[in-house]
Amino acid sequence: DSVMEKVLQRRSLRLRNMQRAWQESPEGKRMMEFRKSLPSFKEKERLLQAIARNQVVVISGETGCGKTTQLPQYILESEIESGRGAFCNIICTQPRRISAMAVSDRVSAERGEPLGESVGYKVRLEGMKGKNTHLLFCTSGILLRRLLSDRNLNGVTHVFVDEIHERGMNEDFLLIVLKDLLPRRRDLRLILMSATLNAELFSAYYGGAPTIHIPGFTHPVRAHFLEDVLDITGYKLTSFNQIDDYGQDKLWKTQKQLTPRKRKYQITTLVEDALNKTSFETYSSRVRDSLSNWMPDCIGFNLIEAALCHICRKERPGAVLVFMTGWEDITSLKDQLKSHPLLGDPNRILLLTCHGSMATSEQKLIFERPPPNIRKIVLATNMAEASITINDVVFVVDCGKAKETTYDALNNTPCLLPSWISQASARQRRGRAGRVQPGECYHLYPKCVYEAFAEYQLPELLRTPLNSLCLQIKSLQVESIAEFLSAALQPPESLAVFNAIGFLKMIGALDEKENLTNLGKFLSILPVDPKLGKMLIMGAIFRCFDPVLTIVSGLSVRDPFLLPQDKKELAGTAKSRFSAKDYSDHMALVRAYEGWKDAEREGSAYEYCWRNFLSAQTMQAIHSLRKQFSFILKDAGLTDGDMSSNNKLSHSQSLVRAIICAGLYPGIASVVHRETTMSFKTMDDGQVLLYANSVNARYQTIPYPWLVFGEKVKVNAVFIRDSTGVSDSMLILFGGTLHRGVQGGHLKMLDGYIDLFMDPSLADCYLNLKEELDKVIQK
């Protein structure tokens, strides 16, 4: 130990010499000037003292005041200066990987070092750190994963949890785990950082930890809502040319016939009306969809363009920040703007993007000031809301939406759809325009919509299915999930926890004693609902990956088959053309997607969707989700790069059907034929009806004894949406425990399947076995 001590002391001295040399260099001095101008600098001594004296400190301060880049750096600098640099290990978590990367890059530049020296980063699948790294920026997920194998965080001296005001699930989850760790690690320092002023909540959670507020300074920002924006820009709502969905089409037609003033009123009431009705129980998904499509896909693009034109033509100099929902929207808008005479002119406009998957080279450009006479426009996701600060922004254009996972109670699946932001977010976005001088913010939605926004966003923990969370908690070797979660900042309902545990047992992720099974271990790695994760794993194991990938992606987004009120019959016929006597909505989706892909290749995707009553937007979303999922599965080692071997059995209808059954279990209903009528009963003996747009609703009889389904919807009766017919043997072999006491076969647990996967020849044996069993059961 004393040898190690000596090595560390020598390294500490070296660190100190390097730091002093940088601080005395001209560039170092210039950098210091900038750093001293940040509001956090004035509080530096107070902050360091508070952290030295308390195990937990909560720090709040306006975005851009220097929390993330400065505070961990202050600690590092002062440790190095005191000659103990090599003994400290600081970790600072970020909710998003891109901010962990951007921030570490910035901090190492401020220290005059290449990234990976004293400052590094680590995110999933990527990292840059070395033996000299003493300040590490990582995602909260990475720290959670580290806690799995290193429960005491040995060697770590300081943990910063950043952006806790966002109430991300991983952050809330980390706070529980760290709270448990603190008594065991008395020397560990925990610093919580938050942008807004709800610091008391976190302070109370840690037994009255001291809070420090960094006073900031921003300029006033004037807010314009849609009503004003239409006046200011002279934008006519008649020029929608991106009609994609029937809801929009209808909206568009009514708009066209109205005078501008009436049109404005009409659009306001339409949205207001829709917002008032968004209760899950009574509101048809059709209307919900048309509301969610309202922005920014249709009006949004052209309206954004109009707002940008107005700013560039009429307004004073200053960068523009446009808040959009995601990468797809950002790239399509960027494409659209390219051909614009003003906005696409590189001599006048510097058009940049800022989102989770941008290149590092582009990241740097965002912060740079463009040459005079060139206006910088940054198209960004809500990442630019709090975790990234662009100083020269004077104008903000806000679409009012953000893509986030929400918990769709009907689907019992996470949705990856854009949804309206909260009032707090809207204010935060607006504030981004006032960093250097008074600014302007264009909210592209009516004021009434803003007023209907939730005040704050619900913590992610309360709007995410607990199925996956409970699985993760279990992989932290926690005894009782319920007890663990009751320690959360805002604990979820106990019934929700109870349901999740029951469900995990049912699908074989937990055993009777609530311990993780092998399957459970794999499912805990996949960022999807465990049910769908199971389907994906099965698709990979049985090498019919492609169709399963489409089905899982479709179930994670929403139904792409449209059902317009006035064309129900036509739409139903169109959908049934994809069914070909499969008795399966899921297979219909697979065929629709295959057709879409061909059409896309030929450049006729739009006509294809129109003809087949498909939402082009949803098809696109399914397409991009497929890519994400297949990447994740490859990453988890469940598929190899060779798609043809992963798809060796994709043509096998009955296999795909069996795997749908494996995933959707326990969503099953028995098909009861009585003379000329047909009815359906679920496991709890409840009566269910088929959703009107289901291909199975078009048949008099169904030649399968069972239907498996993804979701039940309660309206006035209980409906099942998408369903697939399955045989007894499929249910016995691939479902869980069959009701009425019949035990699913000896292979029911995926534990066994996973072993099979490790030896591919065994999988073939299993398939042969299955066929034989099939025959036996038919007799």
Contact set with Mg ion (CB under 5 A): 67-68
How many CB atoms within 10 Å of residue 202?
22
Phi, psi for 625 (deg, rounded to 5): -65, -40
70 lies in the site for ligand ADP, by CB under 6 A: yes
437 lies in the site for ligand ADP, by CB under 6 A: no
From candidates 58, 64, 537, 680, binder to ligand ADP by CB under 6 A: 64
Whichever of 59 and 599 has its CB closer to Mg ion, that residue is 59
Q: Strand ranges (DSSP E) for 285-433? A: 319-323, 349-354, 375-380, 393-398, 401-403, 406-408, 413-415, 418-420
- The partner in contact with residue 106, picked from ligand ADP, Mg ion, none with C-beta cut-offs of 5 to 8 angstroms by kind, is ligand ADP
Site string (560-589) toward ligand ADP, x via CB under 6 A: ------------------------------
Using CB under 6 A, which of the segments 63-71, 305-313, 617-625, 636-644 binds ligand ADP? 63-71
Look up tokens 């426009």; give the residue: 377
104 lies in the site for ligand ADP, by CB under 6 A: no
Residue 404 CA, distance from chain mean position: 5
Ordered DSSP codes for 428-477: HHHHGGGSSS-EEEEESS-HHHHHHS-SSPPPGGGSS-HHHHHHHHHTTT
In the bound state, the residue with its beta carbon closest to Mg ion is: 68
Q: Please, which residues bridge with residue 139 across strands? A: 94
How many CB atoms within 10 Å of residue 103?
21
Query: Angle of helix 97-110 relative to helix 67-81, nearest 10 degrees?
Result: 50
Whichever of 68 and 464 has its CB closer to Mg ion, that residue is 68
- The partner in contact with residue 65, picked from ligand ADP, Mg ion, none with C-beta cut-offs of 5 to 8 angstroms by kind, is ligand ADP
From candidates 15, 18, 38, 306, binder to ligand ADP by CB under 6 A: 38
Half-sphere exposure (CA, 13 Å, Cβ side) for 603?
0
H helix runs in 112-190, sequence order: 140-149, 169-181
From candidates 19, 43, 58, 66, binder to ligand ADP by CB under 6 A: 66
367 lies in the site for ligand ADP, by CB under 6 A: yes
Whichever of 98 and 660 has its CB closer to ligand ADP, that residue is 98
Q: Determine the size of the site formed for ligand ADP (CB under 6 A).
A: 15
- The partner in contact with residue 158, picked from Mg ion, ligand ADP, none with C-beta cut-offs of 5 to 8 angstroms by kind, is none
- The partner in contact with residue 353, picked from ligand ADP, Mg ion, none with C-beta cut-offs of 5 to 8 angstroms by kind, is none
Site string (315-354) toward ligand ADP, x via CB under 6 A: ----------------------------------------
From candidates 60, 68, 104, 118, binder to ligand ADP by CB under 6 A: 68
Query: Min. distance of Cβ 97 from ligand ADP in angstroms?
Result: 15
From candidates 391, 645, 653, 743, binder to ligand ADP by CB under 6 A: 391
**Parallel, antiparallel or unpaired: strands 418-420 and 211-214:** unpaired
Query: Min. distance of Cβ 98 from ligand ADP in angstroms?
Result: 12
389 lies in the site for ligand ADP, by CB under 6 A: yes
Whichever of 66 and 326 has its CB closer to Mg ion, that residue is 66
Task: For residues 274 and 291, give the distance between their C-alpha atoms in angstroms, rounded to a whole number.
Answer: 7
67 lies in the site for ligand ADP, by CB under 6 A: yes
- The partner in contact with residue 69, picked from Mg ion, ligand ADP, none with C-beta cut-offs of 5 to 8 angstroms by kind, is ligand ADP
Site string (708-747) toward ligand ADP, x via CB under 6 A: ----------------------------------------
687 lies in the site for ligand ADP, by CB under 6 A: no
652 lies in the site for ligand ADP, by CB under 6 A: no
Query: Min. distance of Cβ 435 from ligand ADP in angstroms?
Result: 7
Residue 703 CA, distance from chain mean position: 40
106 lies in the site for ligand ADP, by CB under 6 A: yes
> Two tokens at 702?
């169904």
SS3 638: coil
Query: Min. distance of Cβ 146 from ligand ADP in angstroms?
Result: 23
Query: Min. distance of Cβ 358 from Mg ion in angstroms?
Result: 18
69 lies in the site for ligand ADP, by CB under 6 A: yes
Whichever of 74 and 706 has its CB closer to ligand ADP, that residue is 74
380 lies in the site for ligand ADP, by CB under 6 A: no
Whichever of 333 and 433 has its CB closer to ligand ADP, that residue is 433
646 lies in the site for ligand ADP, by CB under 6 A: no
Residue 266 CA, distance from chain mean position: 33
Residue 59 near residue 214 (C-beta atoms within 8 A): yes
Q: Strand ranges (DSSP E) for 184-243? A: 189-194, 211-214, 221-224
Query: Min. distance of Cβ 41 from ligand ADP in angstroms?
Result: 10
Query: Min. distance of Cβ 385 from Mg ion in angstroms?
Result: 11
Whichever of 100 and 571 has its CB closer to Mg ion, that residue is 100
Long-range Cβ contact pairs of 329-332 (< 8 A, separation 24 or more):
329/296, 329/297, 329/300, 330/355, 330/379, 330/380, 330/381, 332/301
Interior CA angle at 411 toward 406 and 414, to 5°? 30
Q: What is the dihedral of CA 484, 487, 488, 493, to 10 degrees?
A: 80
- Give buried/exposed letters for 179-189 (b at 16+ CB in 10 A, else e): bebbeebeebb
The single-letter code of the amino acid at 415 is C
Query: Min. distance of Cβ 378 from ligand ADP in angstroms?
Result: 13
The H or E element that residue 678 is part of is strand 677-682
Whichever of 106 and 401 has its CB closer to ligand ADP, that residue is 106
Contacts of 445 (CB under 8 A, 6+ apart): 225, 226, 271, 295, 399, 400
Whichever of 68 and 618 has its CB closer to ligand ADP, that residue is 68
SS3 188: coil
Task: For residues 96 and 158, give the distance between their C-alpha atoms in angstroms, rounded to a whole number.
Answer: 20
Query: Min. distance of Cβ 177 from ligand ADP in angstroms?
Result: 23
296 preceded by a cis bond (ω within 30 of 0): yes
Q: Residues in the site for ligand ADP, rule: CB under 6 A?
A: 38, 61, 63-70, 102, 106, 367, 389, 391
